[in-house]
Amino acid sequence: MSGPGDPIAVVGAGAAGTMAAIFAAKDGRPVLLLESTGNGGRKIVISGGGRCNVLPSRASAAQFVTASSRNTLRKILLSWPLAEQRRFFEETLGIPLALEEETGKLFPVSNRSREVRDGLYDLARRRGVEIAFSTRVSALKPRAGDRPWRLETSGGEIRAASVVLATGGLSVPASGSEGAGLRIAERLGHTIHATYPALTPLVCDPPRHAHLAGVSLSARIDAPLGRGRFSTSGGFLFTHRGYSGPAVLDVSHLAVRSLQDGARPQEIFVRWTEASAEEWDRRLRDGGAGVVGPLLRRHLPDRLADQLLLEASVDPARALAELRREERAALVAVLARYPLPWTGDEGYKKAEVTGGGVALSEVDPRTLESRLRPGLYLCGEMLDAFGPIGGYNFLWAWATGRAAGLGASRCE
């Protein structure tokens, strides 16, 4: 029989799971937080280069990607608005956040990601949450009638009044995310929309631009999509194997999906500066006595400027006034609509998040309780949604973790 002392079991002590445990214990309910690794919260610790980009400064549901209902996604995000999340971190946790103006990201003033992870754990413990590290959950046996949920773990069987699954997806497997929760959810009858690495670097084989490794700049990326297009702007970084940086990561899911679907590889075009094709054409026409090489180097890193001149077959010492029409057209093309040569991606090992996951139609958007298994709650990266670089995926983790924790605490 399920007794009054049976805890709420939260599986996974990452961002979503720890937040779920905090809110599940809000009214004194016993909560057990189970974590497969020895210390937990590893994605929190490594995020933002060790600074932890806790939240974006602005957000909308339109910025998120899902194969599920966008209306459901919107309802979930609205359950804990951005402003309220910020107040939680600053007032409840006592971690002041600072805006990074150039990116719109919010970081802890200390720039220490461990302050975020440890602050969440401290609050969980103050609310009575018991945290069990190095405890791997291999299976769930659903409750039936008055019998509780039973969790098969590396430390033996555990009884629970309700269960929150927050084990993450498949990205950065070294952090402990290796898909265990997705497999459990699927065995319990849930639909798992095809998973794929998202926010991952792209590669080119052979590495056509390896000699530019380390060159970085701000760029705009466009990818045609049927009658529309996907556009994003931000940092672009050349690597030894291909391309990274926020702009590349934000478009990578389209590239990855195009290969998985067996369609034509997604076309990706880069505009290397803020100037449009028309503006570059005017600069090249009206440069007076200028020289083409120095003009490009004023707006681009030297090595990239030289590479683009080479690909356009234009001598960097050529006078602007002497450029032929076809040379000017070639330069405008590589400057404002450069076809990025890519052949693959870095996969889950370097992906920031997992695309796909549990169909949003199979959870209640208010509580995130499973529509198939009462008493089971799902949250975080396991669900079929992700946002761009910039704190959006923590926003999703915090919101879904809170909703699942509150829902589980009310479960009878």
Q: What one-character-per-residue DSSP string does 208-261 give?
A: TTGGGTT-EEEEEEEEEETTEEEEEEEEEEE-SSEEESHHHHHHHHHHHHHHHT
- Averaged over 4-18, what is the pLDDT? 93
Last residue of a domain, one of 345, 365, 386: 345
Helix (H) or strand (E) holding 77: helix 70-78
- Identify whether residues 299 and 236 lie together within a single domain: no
Q: Is residue 2 part of a domain?
A: no
- Would you say residue 350 lies in a domain? no
Any domain includes 310:
yes
- DSSP characters for 160-217? ESEEEE----SSSGGGT-SSHHHHHHHHTT--EEEEEEES--EE-SS-TTGGGTT-EE
pTM value is 0.94
* Residue 143, pLDDT score: 80
- Dihedral of CA atoms 117, 119, 120, 124 in degrees, nearest 10, equals 140
Task: Give 127-186 pLDDT, tens digit per residue.
Answer: 999 999 999 999 999 987 767 999 999 999 999 999 999 999 999 888 877 889 999 999
285 lies in the same domain as 263: no
Residues 293 and 362 in one domain: no
| Farthest-apart Cα atoms in the chain, separation | 88
Could you read off the pLDDT of 389-405 as tens digits, one per residue? 999 999 999 999 999 99
Task: Return all residues near 391 (Cβ < 8 A) that are at least 6 apart.
Answer: 53, 54, 55, 56, 105, 106
Whether residues 309 and 253 share a domain: the answer is no
Asked whether residue 351 is assigned to any structural domain, the reply reads: no
pLDDT at 412: 58
3 part of a folded domain? no
- Residues 87 and 149 grouped into a single domain: yes
User: CB-side exposure of 410: number of CA atoms within 13 Å?
Assistant: 9
Question: Are 110 and 259 in a shared domain?
Answer: no
Residues 148 and 142: their CA atoms lie apart, in Å, by 7
| CATH at 220 | 2.40.30
Please tell me the predicted confidence (pLDDT) of residue 186: 97
pLDDT tens for each residue of 349-367: 999 999 999 999 999 999 9
Residues 215 and 334 in one domain: no
Terminal C-alpha separation, the chain: 13
Share of the chain above pLDDT 90, in %: 91
Return the pLDDT at 15.
98
Residue 344: closest CA among 267, 259, 240: 259
Structure tokens at 232: 């994003």
Average pLDDT for 262-286: 94
The rounded distance, in Å, linking the Cα atoms of 123 and 128 is 9
**Mean of pLDDT over the chain:** 95
Do both 226 and 162 map to the same domain? no
Asked if 35 and 135 count as a contact pair (C-beta separation under 8 A), the reply is yes
C-alpha closest to that of 176 among 42, 2, 19, 267: 42
pLDDT digits (tens, 9 = 90+) for 201-251: 999 999 999 999 999 999 999 999 988 899 999 999 999 999 999 999 999
C-beta atoms surrounding 19 within 10 Å: 30
Tell me: do 94 and 225 sit in the same domain.
Answer: no
pLDDT of residue 329: 97
Residue 71 in this model has a pLDDT that exceeds 50: yes
Give CA–CA dist 283/268, Å, rounded. 25
Q: Which of 68, 57, 37 lies closest to 382, judged by CA?
A: 68
What's the whole-number mean pLDDT along residues 368-396?
Answer: 97
**Per the structure, how many domains does the chain have?**
3
pLDDT at res. 1: 33
- Answer with the one of 292, 310, 339 that is the final residue of a domain: 339
Integer Cα distance of 376 and 133 in angstroms: 21
- What pLDDT, on a 0 to 100 scale, did the predictor assign at position 2? 42
pLDDT of residue 258: 94
Verify that 174 and 288 share a domain, yes or no.
no
Instruction: Let me know if residue 50 belongs to a domain.
Output: yes
Q: Which amino acid is it at 217?
A: L
CATH number, domain containing residue 54: 3.50.50.60
| 216 domain-assigned | yes
Q: Give me the mean pLDDT over the 255-259 stretch.
A: 95
| Paired residues of 247 in beta bridges | none
Q: Give me the pLDDT at residue 4, please.
A: 56
Give the Cα separation of 305 and 1 in Å (integer): 72
Q: How far is CA 307 from CA 30, 281, 291, 314, 338, in A?
A: 62, 19, 16, 10, 12
Q: What is the CATH number of the domain that holds 298?
A: 1.10.8.50
**Is there a single domain that holds both residue 181 and residue 77?**
yes
48 and 171 belong to one structural domain: yes
167 located within any domain? yes
Query: Could you read off the pLDDT of 86-128 as tens digits, one per residue?
Result: 999 999 999 999 999 999 999 999 999 999 999 999 999 999 9
In the block, tokens 């018991």 appear at 130
> Do residues 266 and 255 make contact, with C-beta atoms less than 8 angstroms apart?
yes
Given 339, 373, 390, which residue is the final one in a domain? 339
Q: Given its phi and psi angles, is residue 348 left (phi above 0), alpha (psi -120 to 50 degrees) or beta?
A: alpha
Range(s) of the domain holding residue 39 = 8-194+357-410
